[in-house]
Amino acid sequence: MKKPAAMTMQLLRSLFTKPATTRYPHEPSKMPDGFRGRLNFDPRKCIGCKLCVRDCPAGGIEVTKTGDREFEVVIDLGKCIYCGQCAENCNKEALSFSDDFELAELENSKLVLRYNVKPERKPVQEP
């Protein structure tokens, strides 16, 4: 006979407590500190050192020289595993993560970001 009384008490408690979940997508979700969502790239800070290319385990970043002082950075968010190695090892903080987690696309090509970069100073020379 204890079970119905315990269930009734739990039911009454549940009626007056705040839900543990949010009303997503009607209300924005608050992401915890350190969450790694969409990868952001700031071409003004990039010097073309290719540390991000070297450290990306998924091969989602490419840096290609296109001119004397220009290069192209291609970031494929479809390949990214959001490990954070690229942003952590970028000396100039050109890569960072946002709180945006809504990355679903019907076409993979929409997940490929291309940037033509012309830095203020000369890019690092390849050996």
- CATH number of the structural domain spanning residue 86: 3.30.70.3270
Output the CA–CA distances (angstroms, integers) from residue 95 to 9, 48, 52, in the order listed: 52, 12, 9
Span 14-55, pLDDT tens digits: 888 888 888 888 888 888 999 999 999 999 999 999 999 999
Number of structural domains in the chain = 1
Closest listed residue to residue 119, CA positions, set 36, 64, 59, 46: 46
113 lies in some domain: yes
Span 109-127, pLDDT tens digits: 999 999 999 877 655 666 5
Q: Kindly state the average pLDDT of the residues 51-63.
A: 96
22 lies in some domain: no
Establish how many alpha carbons lie within 13 A of residue 49's alpha carbon, considering only the half-sphere containing its beta carbon: 15
**The residue type at 9:** M
pTM across the whole model:
0.76
The whole domain housing 56 covers: 38-117
126 lies in some domain: no
| 90 backbone dihedrals φ, ψ, rounded to 5° | -75, 115
For residue 57, what pLDDT band results from cuts at 50, 70 and 90? very high
DSSP 27: S
16 lies in some domain: no
State the DSSP H helix or E strand holding residue 55, giving kind and residue range, or none if neither: helix 51-55
68 lies in some domain: yes
